[in-house]
Amino acid sequence: MGLRVRPATLDDVRSIVEVHCSDVEEWYRLVGGARVRAPYEELSVGERFLHGGPWMSVETCAIHLNYLLTAGQYPLVAELDGRVVGELELYIGEERGVLGKTGYIDVLVVHKSYRGRGVGRRLVEEARRIAIQEGCNTISVWPERRAVPFYEKCGLRDAAYRVLHVVVDATGCKAPSCGLREFPQGYEELASMWFLTPRIYSGFTAWLKSRWSYALREAWARLREASIPALGAAFVLEAMSLRSEARLSLWVEDPSRAREAVLCACSEAARLGVGRLHLLAEEAVCRQLVRGLAVEVVGEEMVLMDRLH
C-alpha cells in the first residue's frame, strides 16, 4: 500500500495517541513534587496530559481533534501500509505582518519506529499543498531547535520572527484604570490588529487555541480575556500548570501603545494572583514592551516560513 497522507477523522484518535506516546521514555506521576514511575494504565487522564498535552490519551485527544475538525482546520495523518505512523496539524488564518494569510504547522509527530522514511516530509508537502489551495501567502512553523534542519530541507528557510521569551514580575506592574470591556466575539476584529505575543504562533492559531479547554487541572486555563478600547488592544491571560504563572496573548491596533496594554494586562494578572507573566515577542518589540519592568529572560525561539507566491 505504501505511504499516503489523508485528513484525520475521529476514528484515528487511538492511532494518533499511539504515535505521540511513542516518544515518551518513562511514564510517571508527581508525588509531593517528585516524579514516581508508574505504568501508563495506572495514570489518570490529567497525569497523562502532563507528558505532552491532549495527545497523550484517547479522552483528551478526541476532544482536541473534534475542536480542530469543527473549526474547519486540517489535522492530517500519514499511513504506511495501512498503519497511522505520523500526524500533522495545520491552521489556516490571516493576520497583519510578514506571515499574512498563513498555513501554520502547529504539530508534526512521526512514530518513533518510523522515522527516517520520509513520513514527515510527505506530511509537510501535503500541508503546503493545502496552504496553496487555501490562498495562503506563507507556510510557517515554530520548530524545536533540533527540527530546524528538517524544516529547512522542506523549504521553510526564512526567519519570520526571532522571538525572545521573558517572564515579567506582574506584582510590580502598576497601570491606571484600563477600562476593560468584553473580548471580541470573533477573529475578524483581531485579524486587523498586530499580534505581538506569543509570537511563536500565528495570530489565528493563538486565538483559536485560546477558545478551547479540556476541563483538567493540569491543562492551561483561560483566566481572563478582555479588550481595552482606549488603547485599541485585546488580550487573553492563560494560567499555566503552576497557577501562579500565566501566559499573555496580545493584539494591538497601534504598536506604539503596546507597552501600555502590557501594563494593563500585567496589572490584571496580578489582581488574579499571577506573579509571573510569560511574554514571547519578536526580540526588538519585546525589549520595548518590558522596558523598565522586572523581567527574566528564559529563552530564544524562531518562527520559520516559506513564501508561497
Reported as a single tens digit per residue, the pLDDT across 118-174 is 999 999 999 999 999 999 999 999 999 999 999 999 999 999 999 999 999 998 887
Spatial separation of the C-alpha atoms in residues 5 and 16, rounded to whole Å: 13
- In single-letter form, the type of residue at position 64 comes to H
Provide mean pLDDT across the span 32-60.
94
pLDDT of residue 217: 79
Domain stops at, among 156, 190, 213: 156
Return all residues near 184 (Cβ < 8 A) that are at least 6 apart. 190, 227, 234
User: Is 104 found in the same domain as 180?
Assistant: no
pLDDT of residue 269: 94
Assign residue 138 the CATH number of its domain: 3.40.630.30
Q: Which of 50-54, 108-112, 171-175 has the least mean pLDDT?
A: 171-175
Asked whether residue 167 is domain-assigned, the answer is yes
Asked whether residue 309 is domain-assigned, the answer is no
Of residues 218 and 149, more confidence is placed in: 149
User: Is 137 found in the same domain as 195?
Assistant: no
Where do the H-state alpha helices sit in 82-184?
Answer: 119-133, 148-153
Instruction: Tell me the per-residue pLDDT of 224-274, one tens digit each, with 9 for 90 and over.
Output: 999 999 999 999 999 976 668 999 999 999 999 999 999 999 999 999 999
pLDDT of residue 78: 98
Asked whether residue 308 is domain-assigned, the answer is no
Asked whether residue 113 is domain-assigned, the answer is yes
User: Is 151 found in the same domain as 27?
Assistant: yes
User: Is 187 found in the same domain as 86?
Assistant: no
CA distance to 14, 69, 105, 202, per residue, from 62 (Å): 9, 11, 19, 23
Where do the H-state alpha helices sit in 86-191?
Answer: 119-133, 148-153, 187-191
Q: Does the pLDDT at position 53 exceed 70?
A: yes
Mean pLDDT estimate for the chain: 95
| Residue found under cell 503552576 | 242
Return all residues near 59 (Cβ < 8 A) that are at least 6 apart. 45
* Residue 105 pLDDT class (50, 70, 90 cuts): very high
Of residues 215 and 26, more confidence is placed in: 26
Asked whether residue 142 is domain-assigned, the answer is yes
pLDDT of residue 163: 98
pLDDT of residue 241: 63
User: Is 273 found in the same domain as 136?
Assistant: no
Asked whether residue 280 is domain-assigned, the answer is yes
User: Is 238 found in the same domain as 194?
Assistant: yes
Q: Does the pLDDT at position 221 exceed 90?
A: no
User: Is 112 found in the same domain as 209?
Assistant: no
Domains identified in the chain, total number? 2
Structural domain including 15 reads 3-156
Provide mean pLDDT across the span 68-92.
97
User: Is 147 found in the same domain as 25?
Assistant: yes
- In single-letter form, the type of residue at position 110 comes to V
Provide mean pLDDT across the span 63-67.
98
Domain stops at, among 115, 131, 156: 156
Domain stops at, among 140, 156, 172: 156
* Residue 282 pLDDT class (50, 70, 90 cuts): very high
Secondary element (H or E) of residue 94: strand 83-94
User: Is 216 found in the same domain as 74?
Assistant: no
Asked whether residue 231 is domain-assigned, the answer is yes
Asked if residue 60 lies in contact with residue 54, where contact means CB atoms within 8 angstroms, the answer is: yes
pLDDT of residue 177: 84
pLDDT of residue 174: 79
User: Is 194 found in the same domain as 86?
Assistant: no
User: Is 191 found in the same domain as 205?
Assistant: yes
* Residue 1 pLDDT class (50, 70, 90 cuts): low
Asked whether residue 168 is domain-assigned, the answer is yes
User: Is 143 found in the same domain as 225?
Assistant: no
